[in-house]
Each structure stands twice: as C-alpha cells, then as structure tokens.
Structure 1
Amino acid sequence: MTVEVSGRSVLLTGAGSGIGRAAAVEFARRGARLTLTGRREEPLRETAGLVEEAGGEAQVVAGNVVEPGDRERVVRSAVERFGGLDVLVNNAGSVRAGRLEGMEEDEIRAQLEVNLTAPILLTREALPALRENGGDVSEAAVVNVSSGFGLAAMPFYSVYGATKAGIAHFGESLRRELYGEGVHVMNIYPGATETPMMDTNEAGPELGFQYESPEAVAQALVEGLEAGELNVVRGAEDRSQMAESGREDPRQADEQIASMKDDLLAAVQGHRSL
C-alpha cells in the first residue's frame, strides 16, 4: 500500500524549524493540508507563510505535546479544520549530549518526555482519527523521526540514543500491530542535519558528522511515505556499517570509538537543545 499525500490532512510536530519546517514545505508542494504545532507560535507562523508560498494550506496550533490537553487540542484542531487526519509526523525532539553523570535529572527527563513519551501518547490520541481515514486505496500513516543514533550507539548520547532507539522500536511494533488495518507506520533515521538543534554541536566530518540539509531529509521523508517504505535511513552506507559493526563485533567497535572519545566529548559536550 502507498500513502497518498495530495489533499490529505497532515499533523506535524516540531514544525517551527529544521526538519519540521522543511517537511511542511515539502508536504505543501505535494498538495497536503497541514496542521503545524510546536511550543512557539511565531516560528510556526513563519513556517505557515512558507507553506502558503509553496501553494499549500496550513493552520497553526501552538502547544506542547508533552501536555495532555495540548495533545488532545491539536488532534481535534486537525480533524475540525480539514475534516479528518491522514498523516501524523512525530518530529519534535530535544537533545542534551555529554557524560551521563554530568546531566541534571530534568535534562534526562526532558529528552525522555519529548522524544519518546509524548510521541507515543500523541499517536494514541490520533489513532481513532487515523483509523477512520485509512482506506483501501491509500492508507493513513504515522511517521516517527528517529536518528542515526537510534541505529548505532555513540558515547555521550546515551539518553538521546535510548529515546531514538525507543521511538524506532515503538514504530516497528506499532506497524505490525496495525498491519492490514489501514494505518501504515514509517521510521526515518536522519544523520547530522543542518538545523538549529545542531548549532551547539561542534563535531564535524573528522568525527563522523557528515551534515546534510533539512530539505534533503524532508524530501526523503515524503518520498518514502508515498512509496510505502518501512524505514528511511540517511547516510545509509556509513550508518549501516556502524550498526553492523556494533552487532557483529562490539568490542572492536568500542575500541575504534575509544580512539576518538576525548575529541568527541570536547566537540559535543555543549550540544544542548531542550
């Protein structure tokens, strides 16, 4: 089954910048009608303007998907404005890199809540509407934005990596739970992407951070969705090699990563977007 985008109602979290903003524009170019949500209204309004320039239609519903009332409100708004909900994109995320013992408890909990708990609960809230709109011709869909760190674990991203692996496994399990019921689930695993979330990360190609544009990730997301893909992996060759190495010979992988550990910590210890 493929997932039609044109004319369909899409709810997109974290739509104020980065991959979320680029995805909104890409969906708009393909005729989707968008409900944009995030914590701050002004960036969402800017995204809505870009959507309209691209020929799309958007409404802005500012809110924090960590809050139960906001989750219910944003789903209701999508259904009321566009007559239903066809696609949910769980894109909002937060990161705090560094040594685990150097993190505050609230920094750990924020990553767990934003990256894992909130998208699971938002999906639960949205499922009745998605089920109603999933049909024989084109399925409804849930898209989970994971991370390359959800495939290959790296030091100093223990909590972030756990949340991104968790949302990926959630997606895989939910896909099988909903198989044949009109709702498709796709995971996407971006690598390092040129977004505001990465502004405080000083790691470059020498440490394995090969950056791409949010527009490239957004295009891959929407094209993968339309093609009915199960998983979309960016930086696939390097990422797959790292993941395979971690599974097949984890001790060797540990030793390879250890050789750059000090430089990596210096580059990412200030990486924070909460």
Structure 2
Amino acid sequence: MTQTETPPPVDMTNRSGVITGAGSGIGRALAEQFGRRGARLLLVGRREQALRETASAVARAGGAAEVLDVDITAVGAAEKVADTARTVLHRVDLLINNAGNVSAGRLEDCDVADVRAMVDLNLTAPILLTRALLPDLRAAAQPERSAGMGGPGRRRGSIVLGISSGAALVPLPFYATYAATKTGLAAFGHALRRELYGTGVHVATSYPGATATAMMDSSTAGEDLGFGRRPVEEVVTELLDALGRAEHEINTSQPTRRAMQRLHASDPLAVDAALAPRLSELDATVRHHRSI
C-alpha cells in the first residue's frame, strides 16, 4: 500500500481482547458496543461490582465478558492482565487502553501523589500493558495475510486503541500534568504504529473532548469555556465508526474545540492570548476537577 492509498476497512466483529477502565464511562460504552459485535472481552478495573455490571451489559448486547479487579499501576499488574487474558480468552486481537484519571488546578497546588498517579495510570500502565500483550497481538494478526479473512475487502489483524484526550491536541492551563500524560500516550501510539508497520496490528489513538461521564462530574466548566459535554454513546459510536474505517487518529472533540486545536497547531501563542482574559474563571471552575 502506498502512502496515498486508502487502507481497507477493519473487521470489528467477534473481537477477543482487553479493555481497561471498563467499569464506567467510555470504557463501559466501548465494551457494550463491542458486545453488540459479538466480542469476548476481559474487563479490567479497580471496582469489581462496576466491572460485573459492564459484563452483564456486554452479555445483554450479545457478547461475553470476564472481569479482572486489579490496579493496573501496581508492580506486575501488566503481566497479571496478560496472563489472565491468555487463560480466559485464548486469543487476544484487541487491546483498548482506556483507564485514566485527572487532577486539575495550578501546578504548584497539585499534590505530588496526584501527579504520580496521573503519570502511572495514564501513561506508564498502557505502555507496560501493551508491551506485555504485544506477542499475542502480533500472533493474532498473522491470519489476516491469508485469503478471505475478515470478509471481502476487510482486514482482520489486531487492534491497539489508546484513549488519549483533546488535551493532547491543545494542552490547557491547569491541566499541565494531565495534558503531558495524554500527549505522551498519543506519541506512544504514533511510534508504535510505525514500529508495527506491516505486521497486521492496527494502532489507533482517540482524542475525546469533554464527555458526559463520571470523570467530568467534579468540573463546573461548561460550553462557554469550551467544556461542553458530548453524550458518551455518541462519542463512542463515532470513535468505533472511524476505527472500522481504519483511521489512526480519531478526534471526537466539539467543533468549537477543534477550532482552538487548529489555532494551536498553527499559532500556539494566539491560543495563549485567547485564553488569558478568562484564566481566573477557568481556574475557579476546574480547580476541583479530580477523579483520583
């Protein structure tokens, strides 16, 4: 395939894989939608009851799910998840690194433990989990080289999806550490995609803007400050449609935020000037935004 050719769509049915942060929000919605496509999943998170509720939703949708209650930032957790996935799924052709947390506010006021928690969960954990499962993802991708796999004109292969954030496209004040971790996750996706070129492993990164999930509940910033929430099902449907089209960079931000993203790409100092008059207001509305 040359650089200008459009890649064939990705077969999204009957996937077998791991979703982290699957107890609520985007993770739960992703699990349900893959369930509708016949997936068998290992749902990973720290709240067993919430994971079981997601597993029930997956089953009602037509899929199947096992749960693993584990802190993926703990030493050895990536290997535990990988070993469990091999045992209960047998085949792993899907990995969604969705788990994340946030603690906003002025950097000098941010607790050191919160800084470390964001780096550990948003960046270190997905890198280590991807590393642990990569042999399985590579192995599962091999059949796509055979004729007929995935149906006419469709690729099977494996999928690695990282849930980054719109904060990686336009890093905002009072979210310095969070933006750093999400930008790092996006860069990880770019590098890994290039590393795995031609292996049949499709690496994609999603950039959701503000989404109506529990993670956003402690922020009072609204549409006037660029934090208008989109419904989670709408965001996930758009994300999976793009993933099925074999897109690698999937932006689900609101149109107003996309305009700022374009400005940041062309003239970042103009974004500084645009935000400056409302810095105090933004500070007041996000300083208690915390999901750790």
Which TM-score bucket, shorter chain as reference?
over 0.9
Aligned to 1:171: 189
Moved over 4 A (4+): none
Equivalent residue for 1:117, pick from 104, 110, 124:
124
Secondary structure in 1 matching 2:92: coil
In the TM superposition, what is the alpha-carbon distance from 1:69 to its structure 2 partner? Answer: 2.5
* CA shift in 2, pair 1:247/1:218, >3 Å: closer
Q: Deviations over 1:164-189 (max 9, x none)?
A: 11100110111011010111100000
In the TM superposition, what is the alpha-carbon distance from 1:130 to its structure 2 partner? Answer: 0.2
Matched, 1:156 2:174: yes
Letter of the structure 1 residue corresponding to residue 130 of structure 2:
T
Residue pairs, 1:171-210, within 5 angstroms: 171-210=189-228
Q: How many residues were matched structurally? A: 274
Aligned to 2:153: none
Does the aligned pair in 2 maintain the 1:94–1:114 contact within 8 Å?
yes
| Cα distance in 2, alignment partners of residues 247 and 187 from structure 1 | 18
In the TM superposition, what is the alpha-carbon distance from 1:236 to its structure 2 partner? Answer: 5.6
Does the aligned pair in 2 maintain the 1:5–1:31 contact within 8 Å?
no
| Cα distance in 2, alignment partners of residues 104 and 6 from structure 1 | 43
Matched, 1:103 2:121: no
| Cα distance in 1, alignment partners of residues 14 and 264 from structure 2 | 42
In the TM superposition, what is the alpha-carbon distance from 1:87 to its structure 2 partner? Answer: 0.6
Aligned to 1:85: 92
Letter of the structure 2 residue corresponding to residue 252 of structure 1:
A
| Cα distance in 1, alignment partners of residues 51 and 167 from structure 2 | 27
Secondary structure in 2 matching 1:143: strand
| Cα distance in 2, alignment partners of residues 142 and 219 from structure 1 | 17
The percent identity for this pair of structures is 46
Residue pairs, 1:51-66, within 5 angstroms: 51-66=58-73
Q: Deviations over 1:199-257 (max 9, x none)?
A: 10000011111211111122123222222111110126433321221232222211110
In the TM superposition, what is the alpha-carbon distance from 1:68 to its structure 2 partner? Answer: 3.6
Q: Which moved more, 1:68-77 or 1:184-193?
A: 68-77
Secondary structure in 1 matching 2:100: coil
TM-score of the two chains, using structure 1 as the length reference: 0.96
Residue pairs, 1:12-91, within 5 angstroms: 12-91=19-98
Equivalent residue for 1:249, pick from 267, 271, 280:
267
| Cα distance in 1, alignment partners of residues 240 and 82 from structure 2 | 21
In the TM superposition, what is the alpha-carbon distance from 1:83 to its structure 2 partner? Answer: 1.9
Does the aligned pair in 1 maintain the 2:17–2:89 contact within 8 Å?
no
Secondary structure in 2 matching 1:110: helix
Letter of the structure 2 residue corresponding to residue 179 of structure 1:
Y
Secondary structure in 2 matching 1:259: helix
Does the aligned pair in 1 maintain the 2:17–2:91 contact within 8 Å?
no
Q: Which moved more, 1:218-227 or 1:148-157?
A: 218-227
Secondary structure in 2 matching 1:141: strand
Q: Which moved more, 1:48-57 or 1:219-228?
A: 219-228
* CA shift in 2, pair 1:68/1:129, >3 Å: farther
RMSD: 1.3
Letter of the structure 1 residue corresponding to residue 244 of structure 2:
E
Letter of the structure 1 residue corresponding to residue 43 of structure 2:
L
TM-score of the two chains, using structure 2 as the length reference: 0.91
| Cα distance in 2, alignment partners of residues 183 and 246 from structure 1 | 31
| Cα distance in 2, alignment partners of residues 203 and 131 from structure 1 | 42
Equivalent residue for 1:221, pick from 230, 239, 253:
239
